């Protein structure tokens, strides 16, 4: 029995079928190492077909050795469910705000030119830079070509990383880079703004006009590249990302969620206001209400530019953090509502919670330990039947109620559903 199938058997024996599904698509680091020479041959063929020179194909790609630690990073599973409070408080810090203001002042003339050319306000460019690398303090030190080759030779996302590797090789040639200086995150993101090679090739710009596009060492190149990238992602000039809002006491939490945008006039009718009590207006601009920490936490309304931020990094937490950090850098105050002290669930606890909801007849999809839209929907349905505030958030109260709920209720519910179908 090879190590892969024994690992799989072990997982299934432990009842962790969801994890086994992920493991199914993975090779062991040993298998990746064994098949590495054939993989390099395949990638060299792809490189020649992609227009990479023979020298680079042989002398650089041909010399790459696998980095087993990259596969470890790629396979590592978080132990805890990330809460909004934990995420936000680590990222939107006074240090980042103050440093961001310094950088805004330092590059103010250049940033004004960028805003004129690309339509993206300076404080957003600074906020992205601050969140990605702490303004260049942490750009990653892993050799990009080796990292991408290792990931391209692993089954899990081979196609994506093979393409990124090709772009990295072409970038190396275009910018005449030393492969030892081409470094970044373990997943191949590079420089001040952590661009993947495809984004670097397509959108990076020479900001200081020295003829080179250097996202590792040149801050002006990095800022111009961020502006150009955001413009191409569809930034709407003249609009904010969103804002914190106040919800009325009797707010219908079933209206919340990014997949349910409504016009601002609709939200005004629902008595959603700015934090100072001012109206949101009555335009037909589409916006969604987010409650990332449940009804005890802050609420946000997000506009189309929020989707642009998510095209840079597809995480609602990230989008709110970029937007609010940008506002703070511009001079706005802190959130009006304090961040609630949320329970720290382990992934396993969240999976158990999801499994119980499924057993009770509230469909949350696969019990993957992730607090996604399907889980929120199932939680909301459960909360409604229990007379709890239906915010879809697994508060301590909700989790306890799920634990206590007897399973025979589920049978009753199934019978009711059957009856409603018959009637
Ligand atoms: Ca330059």
Quick one: pLDDT at residue 33? Answer: 84
- CA-based max dimension of the chain: 76
317 and 365 assigned to the same domain: no
171 and 270 assigned to the same domain: no
What mean pLDDT value characterizes the chain? 91
Q: How many CB atoms lie within 10 A of CB 313?
A: 15
For residue 380, being part of any structural domain is answered with yes
Residue 53 has, within 13 A of its CA and on its CB side, a CA count of: 10
For residue 210, the CA-to-ligand 1 centroid distance in Å is 5
For residue 126, the CA-to-ligand 1 centroid distance in Å is 18
258 and 377 assigned to the same domain: no
Residues in the chain where the model's pLDDT stays below 50? 1-24
For residue 174, the CA-to-ligand 1 centroid distance in Å is 13
CB 36 within 8 A of CB 153: yes
- Give the C-alpha separation, 311 to 309, whole Å: 5
311 and 255 assigned to the same domain: yes
149 and 47 assigned to the same domain: yes
261 and 303 assigned to the same domain: yes
289 and 364 assigned to the same domain: no
pLDDT tens digit sequence for 229-265: 999 999 999 999 999 999 999 999 999 999 999 999 9
184 and 312 assigned to the same domain: no
248 and 373 assigned to the same domain: no
For residue 310, the CA-to-ligand 1 centroid distance in Å is 27
For residue 413, being part of any structural domain is answered with no
For residue 150, the CA-to-ligand 1 centroid distance in Å is 30
For residue 366, being part of any structural domain is answered with yes
For residue 305, the CA-to-ligand 1 centroid distance in Å is 28
Q: Measure Cα distances from 146 to 25, 152, 184, 386 in Å.
A: 21, 10, 11, 53
Task: Identify the CATH number of the domain in which residue 51 sits.
Answer: 1.10.8.350
Q: CB burial class (10 A; 0-12, 13-18, 19+) of residue 74? A: middle
Q: Measure Cα distances from 166 to 12, 138, 179, 327, 391 in Å.
A: 37, 25, 14, 38, 45
- Give the C-alpha separation, 183 to 139, whole Å: 8
For residue 218, the CA-to-ligand 1 centroid distance in Å is 6
Quick one: pLDDT at residue 123? Answer: 98
53 and 174 assigned to the same domain: yes
pLDDT tens digit sequence for 183-232: 999 999 999 999 999 999 999 999 999 999 999 999 999 999 999 999 99
Task: Identify the CATH number of the domain in which residue 315 sits.
Answer: 1.10.530.10
Q: CB burial class (10 A; 0-12, 13-18, 19+) of residue 274? A: middle
Angle (CA) 202 207 210, round 5°? 105
pTM for the structure as a whole: 0.88
Residue 95 has, within 13 A of its CA and on its CB side, a CA count of: 8
CB 356 within 8 A of CB 7: no
For residue 130, being part of any structural domain is answered with no
Query: How many domains does the chain contain in total?
Result: 3
Angle (CA) 375 381 387, round 5°? 130
Query: Which residues form the domain of 200?
Result: 36-77+140-205
Angle (CA) 157 158 164, round 5°? 95
40 and 149 assigned to the same domain: yes
Quick one: pLDDT at residue 419? Answer: 65
Of 305, 330, 355, the residue that ends a domain is 330
For residue 205, the CA-to-ligand 1 centroid distance in Å is 7
Percentage of the chain exceeding pLDDT 70:
90
- Give the C-alpha separation, 318 to 309, whole Å: 8
For residue 219, the CA-to-ligand 1 centroid distance in Å is 9
For residue 21, being part of any structural domain is answered with no
CB 47 within 8 A of CB 61: yes
For residue 202, the CA-to-ligand 1 centroid distance in Å is 15
For residue 421, being part of any structural domain is answered with no
63 and 196 assigned to the same domain: yes
Which residues pair with residue 399 across a beta bridge?
A: none
For residue 212, the CA-to-ligand 1 centroid distance in Å is 4
For residue 89, the CA-to-ligand 1 centroid distance in Å is 34
Listed residue (81, 17, 61) closest to 162, CA to CA = 61
Task: Identify the CATH number of the domain in which residue 396 sits.
Answer: 1.10.101
């Amino acid at each position: 029995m090879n190590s892969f199938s024994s690992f799989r058997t072990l997982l299934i024996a432990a009842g962790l079928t969801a994890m086994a599904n992920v493991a199914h698509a993975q090779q062991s680091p040993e298998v990746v190492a064994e098949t590495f020479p054939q993989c390099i041959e395949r990638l060299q063929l792809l490189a020649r077909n992609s227009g990479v020179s023979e020298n680079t194909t042989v002398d650089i790609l041909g010399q790459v050795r696998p980095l087993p630690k990259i596969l470890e990073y790629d396979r590592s599973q978080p132990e805890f469910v990330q809460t909004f409070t934990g995420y936000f408080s680590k990222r939107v810090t006074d240090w980042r705000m103050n440093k961001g203001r310094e950088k805004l002042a330092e590059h103010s003339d250049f940033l004004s030119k960028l805003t004129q050319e690309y339509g993206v306000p300076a404080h957003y460019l600074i906020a992205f830079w601050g969140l990605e690398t702490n303004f260049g303090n942490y750009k990653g030190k892993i050799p990009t070509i080796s990292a991408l080759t290792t990931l391209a030779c692993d089954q899990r996302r081979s196609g994506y990383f093979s393409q990124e590797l090709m772009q990295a090789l072409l970038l190396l040639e275009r910018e005449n880079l030393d492969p030892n200086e081409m470094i970044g995150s373990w997943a191949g993101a590079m420089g001040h703004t952590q661009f993947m090679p495809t984004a670097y090739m397509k959108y990076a710009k020479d900001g200081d006009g020295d003829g080179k596009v250097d996202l590792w060492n040149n801050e002006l190149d990095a800022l111009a590249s961020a502006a150009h990238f955001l413009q191409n992602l569809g930034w709407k000039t003249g609009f904010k990302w969103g804002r914190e809002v106040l919800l009325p006491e009797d707010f219908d939490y079933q209206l919340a969620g990014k997949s349910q945008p409504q016009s601002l006039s609709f939200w005004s009718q629902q008595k959603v206001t700015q934090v100072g009590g001012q109206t949101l207006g009555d335009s037909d601009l589409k916006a969604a209400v987010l409650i990332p920490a449940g009804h005890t936490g802050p609420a946000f309304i997000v506009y189309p530019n929020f989707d642009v931020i998510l095209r840079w990094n597809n995480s609602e937490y990230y989008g709110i953090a970029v937007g609010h950090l940008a506002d703070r850098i511009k001079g706005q105050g802190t959130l009006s509502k304090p961040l609630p002290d949320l329970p720290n669930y382990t992934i396993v606890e969240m999976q158990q919670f999801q499994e119980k909801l499924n057993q009770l007849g509230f469909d949350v999809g696969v019990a993957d330990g992730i607090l996604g839209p399907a889980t929120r929907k199932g939680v909301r349905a459960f909360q409604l039947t229990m007379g709890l505030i239906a915010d879809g958030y697994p508060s301590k109260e909700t989790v306890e109620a799920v634990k206590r709920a007897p399973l025979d209720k589920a049978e009753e519910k199934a019978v009711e559903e059957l009856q409603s179908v018959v009637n």
